[in-house]
Amino acid sequence: MGPAPVESRGRYTRVTMPEDQLSKSEYLTFGGLAVVEGVMMRSPGHYSIACRAPSGKIVVKTEPLASTWIGRQKWLKKPFLRGTLALLDTMVLGQKAMNWAAELQTRPAEPEPGGEPQKQISKPLENFLMLGAVVVGLVVQFIVFRGLPEYLASLIVRKAANSPDQEVHLTGTNYLAEVIKIVMFIGFLAILSRMPAILEVFRYHGAEHKAINAKEANQPLTIENCRAQTRLHPRCGTNFLIIVTLLAFIVFPLIPRDLFVPITSPAWLIALSRLPLQVVVFPILAGVSYEVIRAAGKAKDQKWVNIILKPGLMTQLVTTAEPEKKHLEVAIVALNSVIKAEESGELNNSEDYKAEFLA
């Protein structure tokens, strides 16, 4: 299935979507992502990025998700597979949104007189570079947050047991590795929250949640209605990562440390040998976690949701911050733009956004 047909109309573009593109159960499912000076909102069929340019104007970009390769893979939308789809889609779309937001912040306000127009990267090259960035990000994430804790756990256990050439208490070492992973993850978030630039992104993250919560409460998307909402949300990616981490704490310690290499191998080799296992098992954990998050999002007022998602919701107190009016304005624009795209097929791509959605 190719990209949806497009009809241009001024600063809006109307996209004709297939009638079976959206299921009724997913129509009002919204998610998002905070970027530099902005928010990306996505619905089942579209995404919209709204950012505040250095001039103070809100700039908007809206596109159909069906135009992406991942968006056309129907087999990845089945239960327990769509968790992997969501992870890949979030990383690719997130990278695209962050690149666009960063480019907007560095774009000259006015072209220099007599200056040559800026060269644009070709679409295939842009997609290749984006895919490369995602792959590199995944590799670094697995090495730092998966491989390094395994290595440190081996060193600690060998040192404590005075056994430099062989590991002992193998199951205990596995659990220690998982504890180190959790500590590193929470520590990483805590360090990020102390950086002023990241704190600003966290405010946009809070604004994103507040706007979605107002919409899901069937309230008009006004500044005051959004401000009154909680900045926490059960479908947040933070919850997803916490559930994956907790499931990993249960599953990975059960996998023998000497499955591929002798237990007398160097600590770095044992850590390296466990990485392929984590790469294989991680999509399974992601699939289960996504289904939990999905169910929780539909029943977020139920007590069991708060109990199961309590660790993730508490972590959101770190990854979000109370937004100001300027952050809420951007989140409302992004969400209204993606809603408009779903309801009418019109794609809002404005370089000088007016406050028509901020009433």
Which residues, 6+ apart, have CB-to-CB distance to 99 below 8 Å? 130
Q: Which of 54-63, 90-99, 271-280 has the lowest mean pLDDT?
A: 90-99
Give the pLDDT mean for 90-95. Answer: 80
* pLDDT value at residue 348: 83
Q: Which of 48-57, 188-197, 261-270 has the lowest mean pLDDT?
A: 188-197
Under the banding of pLDDT at 50, 70 and 90, the label for residue 18 is: very low
* pLDDT value at residue 122: 58
**pLDDT, mean over the chain:** 79
Q: Could you give phi then psi for residue 42, rounded to 5 degrees? A: -135, 150
Report whether pLDDT(224) > 90. yes
CA dihedral defined by 271, 275, 278, 280, rounded to 10 degrees? -150
Under the banding of pLDDT at 50, 70 and 90, the label for residue 244 is: confident
* pLDDT value at residue 359: 45
pLDDT in tens, 285-318: 888 888 887 777 677 667 777 777 888 888 899 8
Exposed (0-12), middle (13-18) or buried (19+): which is 108, by Cβ within 10 Å? exposed
State how far the Cα of 154 lies from the Cα of 156, in Å rounded to an integer: 6
Report whether pLDDT(23) > 70. no
pTM as predicted: 0.78
Under the banding of pLDDT at 50, 70 and 90, the label for residue 99 is: confident
Report whether pLDDT(22) > 90. no
* pLDDT value at residue 129: 66
Strands 46-52 vs 38-42: parallel, antiparallel or unpaired? antiparallel
Report whether pLDDT(126) > 90. no
Strands (E), the chain: 6-9, 12-15, 31-35, 38-42, 46-52, 58-64, 346-348
More confident residue, 30 or 322: 322
Give the pLDDT mean for 104-116. Answer: 61
* pLDDT value at residue 49: 93
Enter the DSSP assignment of 122.
Answer: P
* pLDDT value at residue 75: 61
State how far the Cα of 117 lies from the Cα of 124, in Å rounded to an integer: 20
Q: Which residue blocks in 166-302 are alpha helix, DSSP H?
A: 170-193, 196-216, 223-227, 237-251, 267-298
Report whether pLDDT(351) > 50. yes
Report whether pLDDT(354) > 90. no
